């Protein structure tokens, strides 16, 4: 099951609220340990720069892709 929750300030730390329905369906209770996988919605394409080497400029490749959809 996948849920979405906002990060909220909790004292000097931050926390995530889990919906009651989720806790019940997964038979979770206070003090249980859970594993959390973080998936960021903020893409940082600057980290990708230089990973791919193209024979043609990106603008030309994108133009060809757009023309293919017209």
CA distance linking residue 2 with residue 24, whole number of Å: 14
Mean per-residue pLDDT, 21-30: 91
CA distance linking residue 41 with residue 27, whole number of Å: 28
Which of 1-5, 6-10, 38-42, 50-54 shows the lowest mean pLDDT across its residues?
50-54
pTM over the 0.75 mark:
no
Alpha-carbon distances, residue 42 vs 3, 46, 64 (angstroms): 18, 12, 27
Q: Find all residues with CB under 8 Å of 25, minimum gap 6, and list them.
A: 1
Confidence band, pLDDT 50/70/90 cuts, at residue 70: low
How remote is the C-alpha of 34 from its chain's centroid? 18
């Amino acid at each position: 099951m996948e849920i979405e929750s906002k990060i909220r300030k909790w004292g000097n730390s931050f926390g995530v609220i889990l919906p009651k329905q989720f806790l019940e369906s997964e038979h979770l209770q206070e003090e249980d340990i859970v594993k959390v996988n973080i998936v960021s919605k903020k893409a940082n394409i600057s980290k990708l720069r230089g990973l791919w080497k193209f024979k043609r400029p990106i603008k030309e490749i994108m133009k060809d892709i757009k023309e293919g959809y017209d």
